[in-house]
Amino acid sequence: MVACFPARFCIFFPHLSCLTMKTQPTLSSERIVSLDVLRGFAVLGILIMNIQSFSMISAAYFFPTAYGDFTGIHKGVWIFSHIFADTKFITIFSILFGAGIVLFTERLKRKGINSVALHYRRIFWLLVFGLMHAYLLWHGDILVPYALCGFLVVLFRKKTPRTLFILGLVFIAIPSLFYLFSGTTMHYWPEEQANAFIRSWQPLMEDIQHELEVFRGGWLKQMEIRVEESVYMQTVALFFNTGWRCFGLMLIGMALFKTRVLSAERTNRFYLILALAGLLVGLVLVITGVYKNFEHHFAVEYSFFLGSQYNYWGSLGISMAYIALIMLLTKASANGWFLRSLKAVGQMAFTNYLLQTILCTFIFYGHGLGLFGRIERFGQILIVAGIWVLQMVVSPLWLKYFRYGPLEWAWRSLTYWNLQPFKRETENL
């Protein structure tokens, strides 16, 4: 049986009181394997880029020569990461989030439940988790933008795939218009504003030293930058970039789910064509962008605006290719060790995402080992590989004994306002 929270707590949710057994979340036997595998692939891959934010000054994420060694193997790591990882895995995550909204609401609707009301409770708790993640651990959080978009994107869930695709591309295009307009008008900016922007792109030595000291310091000292960056990410960055792109990708995710692309139900020929077309278009755009940015020596006037657009759009093609390849692998051998491990990582994606933050902040920040700014890009990739191995080994072992990851269990319990069964033997298969 599933324990219900005491009735006195339900006064805080008068329209969503303690739910009956029919509102229990998806059983393991009802899960869509391809979605779990793709989610596991995305949560591992996203660390390739996130570790740069954990381990180096913020400017080095976009302007690679701002800090550290940018020669030899370290330069090669950046080029490889930019081409094959930058924006690609967060794109897949956003697509999956949109697909998940359709899946969640449709399953509840079939059970005669007010799916939208329960969705809003689910998103509310995601927002709470995201705010805690951003302000207490790491300013690079993506959960808050997802939650804010999730409050609105659910309203589009009944649209046709064609409409969702078109609207998705329109929303994705909006940040490009902002960037191109800002780039062409930069010479009209007030001098003080322009100089501050250039300094954020290519910080002075005193700025670099300050950031190093803050993140090599204790947890409270880190708040000096963490809070400021989190506020920026949840306001300016959300309005000019993240919000529009995430919203558009969620709409596309809804369309891909409705057209059975994400459930591995299309033909092998379809996925093969999608993979080849995505790689061809995506790689041409992204590699061209790399060449152009090097040609302009990563000058902010070019690279931040026009130079960033090659990867912005090229990442869509490469992401679609990754999705197609994962679908092909799932159709070919869903029971192989590698895919079973990815599936387990995906089932615990929320926990694994937060675990990556905990591990990396311990490794790099002052409340842990204090290696911030001391590990070059090749060393960062070795750490990424180590965390991948850890999560691919631990996730299947955990799910052997428990039904959910700890954060998945907490999120579901809060969403359904019922304590969900946790140990594996309590699940009624």
Provide φ and ψ at 418, rounded to 5°.
-135, 140
Question: For residue 29, what pLDDT is reported?
Answer: 55
8 Å CB contact between 261 and 250: no
pLDDT one-digit tens code per residue, 184-239: 999 899 999 999 999 999 999 999 999 999 999 999 999 999 999 999 999 999 99
**Euclidean distance between CA atoms 197 and 210, whole angstroms:** 18
| Burial environment of residue 55 by CB neighbours within 10 A (0 to 12, 13 to 18, 19 or more) | buried
pLDDT one-digit tens code per residue, 91-124: 999 999 999 999 999 998 888 888 899 999 999 9
**Euclidean distance between CA atoms 40 and 38, whole angstroms:** 5
DSSP 3-state assignment of 100?
A: helix
Residue 101, CA atoms < 13 Å, CB-side half-sphere: 33
Question: For residue 336, what pLDDT is reported?
Answer: 83
Question: For residue 28, what pLDDT is reported?
Answer: 56
pLDDT one-digit tens code per residue, 163-185: 999 999 999 999 999 999 999 99
Average pLDDT, the chain: 92
pLDDT one-digit tens code per residue, 344-368: 999 999 999 999 999 999 999 999 9
pLDDT at 7 over 80: no
Sign of CA dihedral 130, 131, 136, 138: positive
The whole-model pTM stands at 0.92
Residue 56, CA atoms < 13 Å, CB-side half-sphere: 24
pLDDT one-digit tens code per residue, 66-95: 999 999 999 999 999 999 999 999 999 999
Question: For residue 18, what pLDDT is reported?
Answer: 41
**Euclidean distance between CA atoms 387 and 399, whole angstroms:** 18
Q: Cα dihedral angle (294, 296, 298, 301), rounded to 10 degrees?
A: -160
